[in-house]
Amino acid sequence: MENLSFSKNTILIVDDNPINLDVIFKVLDEAGLEVLVAQDGESALQTMEYVIPDLILLDIMMPGIDGFETCYRIKNNASTLEIPIIFMTALGNTEQKIKGFNLGAVDYIIKPFQKEEVLARIKVHLDLRNLTKDLANKNQLLQEKIIEKTVLEKTLQQLNQELENRVEERTSQLQEAVKNLQQIQLQLIQSEKMSFLGQLVAGVAHEINNPVNFIHGNLNHAETYIQDLLEIFQLYQQQLPSPCAEITTRAEEVDLEYLIEDLPKVISSMKVGVEKIRQISVSLRTFSRAESTSKVKANLHEGIDSALLILQHRLKANDKGQKIEIVKEYGNLPLVLCYPGQMNQVFINIIANAIHALEDSSLKRTSEEMKTNPNQIIIHTEINHSQNSAIIRIKDNALGMPEEVRSKVFDYLFTTKSAQKGTGLGLSISHQIVVEKHNGQLSCFSEEGVGTEFIVEIPLEDV
């Protein structure tokens, strides 16, 4: 039996016949197997509570529970059901064999025993059992690996997702930062522009001021001198009613009578012109007044007027004869505590937008329509007594805007204009100035095809 090696497998023999037991014990023991014995089914089941054999040799006819019942119980116990069972039976009992197979037996050995056959069969089933065990172990291992792999894959997926989320988050943070930066840059450019404009205007106003005052002062003298000269000239005429031919001819050449009549008119129209330049210079200086760090009391009407002055050239008739009429309905506003430079900027932004809108609508309206409904900006001011605030309404009769535009006009960078014409900053900056810097309100009402009205409301301090 050198070929058969059983590497320490345990066999349980169950038989009530001591001679049988003895024979088969010897055979198995010699073959190097661990052998356990039981003399009936009950004690076999008990043994298996402590030791699980690798194979069972089971007699059929036994006192107490017989081999079939024992087999049935073994096969119905989760910890023993895998153990291969070989029945030991007398020769030729086919019925018993079938019953045994049906109960889950793997084989039979016939009594009396043929030593080689017994060992060969046991070997086959032990090998099979070991292979099955091995397979089951490998299967288990494989399953564990698969689970491990699935877990790994899941973790990897989660990590991946997390990474993606992080990247997304970071990207949107970056985008936000870039946007903020762009906004700040635009705001800087805008305020840079405004302060440059302010300085320029202040410089020009200052430079104009002296020569204009000069002319203004001298014009008064010139007027008196001319008056005096004319009086004296009249005296001469009275004293010398018939001058010489040379004087008469020259007087006719220059149309002396007309000249005498026109000269005072020339002077007074020059005075009107100079007066106008002086007003402009004052307005310019109001507009460009150095930005005070604290609020000061200011006349808002002056601010509006200086804003209008700066935009004057765009109100005049263009080559198509389209002009914009400014209707001032100024109420009795007190001085308002504010940052005058910033308030002027608000007025300029709103009025410039109205002018823009009117320029656009002029292109779309027939001259007939323009005649019956000429371009107009109405500037109305009043005190709101119940709120104790100053109200400035700036209303145009351009084409208005649809609701989806109106609801966005104060949004940062919102514009419907081309890049050269609009920045989308004017109204958002104005809103900030009115609401945040002055605790006021800026609202916009618009009706498509009819026009737009902006209402600025600045609280008046109780003084």
Ligand X SMILES: Nc1ncnc2c1ncn2[C@@H]1O[C@H](COP(=O)(O)OP(=O)(O)O)[C@@H](O)[C@H]1O
Binding interface with ligand X (CB under 6 A):
349, 353-354, 357, 396, 398, 401, 405, 409, 414-417, 422-428, 452
Report what 398 binds from Mg ion, ligand X, none; CB cut-off 5-8 Å by kind.
ligand X
| CB closer to Mg ion out of 99 and 356 | 356
Q: What are phi and psi of 457, to 5 degrees?
A: -130, 120
Distance CA 159, CA 136 (A): 34
Interacting residue with Mg ion among 340, 426, 440, 451 (CB under 5 A): 426
| CB closer to Mg ion out of 27 and 310 | 310
| CB closer to Mg ion out of 100 and 426 | 426
Distance CA 121, CA 116 (A): 8
Report what 213 binds from Mg ion, ligand X, none; CB cut-off 5-8 Å by kind.
none
Minimum separation from the CB atom of position 342 to ligand X (A): 15
Contact between 446 and Mg ion per CB under 5 A: no
| CB closer to Mg ion out of 53 and 426 | 426
DSSP string, 4-34: ---TT-EEEEE-S-HHHHHHHHHHHHHTT-E
Report what 180 binds from ligand X, Mg ion, none; CB cut-off 5-8 Å by kind.
none
Whether 355 contacts 324, CB under 8 Å: yes
Minimum separation from the CB atom of position 312 to ligand X (A): 18
| CB closer to ligand X out of 40 and 457 | 457
Distance CA 13, CA 235 (A): 168
Report what 414 binds from ligand X, Mg ion, none; CB cut-off 5-8 Å by kind.
ligand X
Query: Which x/- pattern, by CB under 5 A, does the window 351-390 give for Mg ion?
Result: --x-------------------------------------
Minimum separation from the CB atom of position 401 to Mg ion (A): 13
Residues of span 334-353 touching Mg ion by CB under 5 A: 353
Beta bridge partners, 297, equal: 337
Question: Which residue is nearest to Mg ion, using beta carbons?
Answer: 426
User: Helices 300-311 and 340-364: crossing angle, nearest 10°?
Assistant: 40
| CB closer to Mg ion out of 287 and 454 | 454
Neighbours of 91 (CB within 10 A): 7
| CB closer to ligand X out of 375 and 452 | 452
- Strands 10-14 and 34-38, how do they pair? parallel
> Which residue is it, tokens 């990247």?
167
Q: What is the largest CA-CA distance in the chain?
A: 187
Q: What is the DSSP letter of 416?
A: S
Report what 175 binds from ligand X, Mg ion, none; CB cut-off 5-8 Å by kind.
none
- 223 token code pair: 């007027």
Report what 409 binds from ligand X, Mg ion, none; CB cut-off 5-8 Å by kind.
ligand X
Whether 365 contacts 405, CB under 8 Å: no
Whether 415 contacts 364, CB under 8 Å: no
Minimum separation from the CB atom of position 181 to ligand X (A): 20
Whether 291 contacts 215, CB under 8 Å: no
Whether 57 contacts 11, CB under 8 Å: yes
Residues that bind Mg ion (CB under 5 A): 353, 426
